[in-house]
Amino acid sequence: MLHAAVSLRLESRRWFSIIPHQNDLLDFFDHLLQQCTKIHLLKQVHAQVIVNGSSNSAFLAARVTSVYARFGLLSDAQNVFKTTPVHCLSSSLLWNSILRVNVSNGCYENALQLNHVSWNSVVSGFALNYDCDGALDMFQRMEFEGLEPNLVTWTSLLSSHARCGRLEDTIGLFDRMRTRGIGVSAEALAVVLSACADLVAFKKGMVIHGCVLKGGFESYLFVKNALICVYGKHGDVKEAEKLFLEMKDKNIEVCEILEELARQMESEGYITDKNIIAEDVEEETMLITL
């Protein structure tokens, strides 16, 4: 045991002195992990992976997860997975690793839950990276594998398209989601309302407003902000102002949104009662800052 520890320590020193690139460092840690024959050696290598910032690698996270599982340390393997950075969650290698860990240890229910969560996380990962085509591809593959996309999956798909400026597609996907009988969330409604505002798709925005009221989502600040933008960009300042005054928890950001809408509309030739808006905004801003 002492010989193995000394060998690993000497080898690590030799490699650290000659490693010029990050890829070489990942290969080095991968090599060390495969050489671990004792738990304490694995812990040492894992610690070095973290210290050297290599824990941001999905490849190494998958490797560490599988090696912990090899020693029967299921909780350690799961902890590695849980603490992996968000950007790594789009890695199929990492998900396959944690799924194998659960299946090999008889945790079949965990594996089934993770299987659905894994697809959602992959779709979400593409959305965070502004890759709506990748998100859609994974969404379709999920369906091909026989898994029914849930509200989380759909919301990630909507978000990815909105982030990429695919606003009409965002609204179309929302309609598809509703046709399939999927419920709505405040997040999904805010995304599609923002798309309606940017497209000045007022009629559609009014339909979505109905969904907001029916679902009881009008109390969500970000949903109310999106609704204000929909009505404001259509030129309906009175309705935008009404929504603003209905808000229980106003903040400076909301006040600025309403003021900006008034300025934008005036520049586009709309006639707004700017004095009334200014008085309301000023009054609310004073209350917020007290």
Q: Which two tokens stand for residue 55?
A: 């824990």
DSSP 212-266: HHHHT-TT-HHHHHHHHHHHHHHT-HHHHHHHHHH-SS--HHHHHHHHHHHHHHH
Report d(CA 126, CA 149) in Å as an integer: 15
What is the distance between the alpha carbons of residues 283 and 250, in angstroms, rounded to a whole number? Answer: 11
> What span, in angstroms and rounded, lies between the C-alpha atoms of 29 and 35?
10
Exposed e or buried b per residue across 30-43, where buried means at least 16 C-beta atoms within 10 angstroms of its C-beta: bebbeebeeeebbe
Instruction: Find how far residue 205's CA is from the centre of its chain.
Output: 24
Residue 62 is encoded by which pair of tokens?
A: 């998958």
pTM, two decimal places: 0.60
For tokens 């309302």, what's the residue? Answer: 193
Give the HSE-up count for residue 184: Cα atoms under 13 Å, Cβ half-sphere.
25
10: Cβ contacts below 8 Å, ≥ 6 apart: none
Predicted pLDDT of residue 286? 42
What gap in Å lies between CA 85 and CA 213, rounded to an integer?
A: 37
Predicted local confidence at residue 130, as pLDDT: 86
Buried b (16+ CB within 10 A) or exposed e, 75-104: ebbbebbeebeeebbbbeebbebbbbbbee
Predicted local confidence at residue 240, as pLDDT: 80
125 and 87 Cβ atoms separated by less than 8 Å:
yes
Q: How confident is the model at residue 288, as a pLDDT?
A: 37
Closest CA to 8 of 34, 41, 43, 30: 41
For residue 110, the model assigns a pLDDT of: 73
Q: Hey, CA dihedral for 212, 215, 216, 221, is it positive or negative? A: negative
| pLDDT at residue 10 in the model | 44
- The residues near 121 (Cβ < 8 Å, ≥ 6 apart) are 89, 90, 95
Cα dihedral 75, 78, 83, 86, rounded to 10, equals -170
Q: Which residues contact 112 (CB under 8 A, 6 or more apart)?
A: none
Q: What share of the chain is helix, strand, coil (3-state, %, to 5)?
A: 80, 0, 20
Contacts of 210 (CB under 8 A, 6+ apart): none
Amino acid at 91: S
One digit per residue, pLDDT tens: the chain, 290 residues?
Answer: 444 444 545 454 444 444 445 567 788 888 888 888 899 889 998 898 888 877 788 888 889 988 998 888 888 888 888 888 867 766 767 877 887 787 777 776 776 677 677 778 778 878 887 889 988 988 888 888 788 889 989 999 999 999 999 999 999 999 999 999 999 999 999 999 999 999 989 999 999 999 999 999 988 888 988 998 888 888 787 888 788 888 776 656 666 666 766 676 666 655 454 444 445 445 544 443 43
